[in-house]
């Protein structure tokens, strides 16, 4: 299985260049776009793979539809980290949402995920997080976010390989 987790710099995320405070990640999955869409919109699936190893995620609210909102809490060793945002656009090939870590409530990122069908049951996921400042972007990168993304997507790979995500697209889950 060819796995691609491309970041503009070796060992780091693409920082979007000197004029745009963005983080870009591109990764290939052995899954259909419908499976990846479902993994990102079904809260029961989302909590099974999101975040770094050893974290437990609990969804507080989840309306994965255009105009809906979400909140979840990730916990490890009694320490909780809350995150929330709004879904601005949810469609089978693209999700646009805001993302706020509640430890920095003034920092808001606008995230866009696109699902590129490569054929043969493979999909390239493109993510772009546009941060509200260069300082916010750099703080997100320093936070260990790349480890959480890497480990989370490895868990998603395993979930997909085990047949844990059926390819159904009849809508998002609340």
CA angle 133, 135, 136 (to 5 degrees): 65
Q: Would the pTM of this model clear 0.75, i.e. be above it?
A: yes
Q: Above 50 in pLDDT, residue 7? A: no
How confident is residue 19, by pLDDT bands cut at 50, 70 and 90?
confident
Tens of pLDDT, residue by residue over 113-139, are 999 999 999 999 999 999 999 998 998
* DSSP codes joined into one string, 103-156: TSTT--EEEEEEEEEEETTEEEEEEEEEESSHHHHHHHHHTTHHHHHHHHHHHH
């Amino acid at each position: 299985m060819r796995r691609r987790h491309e970041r503009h710099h070796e060992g780091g995320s693409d920082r979007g260049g000197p004029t745009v405070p963005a983080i870009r990640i591109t990764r290939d999955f052995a899954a259909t776009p419908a499976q990846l869409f479902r993994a990102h919109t079904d809260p029961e699936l989302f909590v099974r793979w999101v975040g770094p190893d050893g974290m437990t995620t609990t969804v507080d609210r989840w309306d994965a539809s255009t105009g809906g909102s979400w909140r979840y809490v990730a916990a490890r060793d009694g320490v909780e980290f809350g995150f929330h945002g709004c879904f601005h656009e949810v469609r089978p090939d693209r999700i646009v949402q805001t993302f706020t870590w509640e430890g920095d409530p003034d920092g808001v990122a606008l995230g866009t995920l696109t699902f590129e069908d490569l054929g043969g049951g493979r999909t390239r996921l493109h993510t772009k997080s546009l941060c509200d400042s260069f300082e916010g972007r750099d703080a997100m990168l320093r936070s260990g976010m790349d480890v959480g993304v890497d480990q989370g997507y490895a868990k998603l790979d395993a979930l997909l390989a085990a047949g844990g995500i059926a390819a159904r697209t009849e809508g998002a889950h609340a």
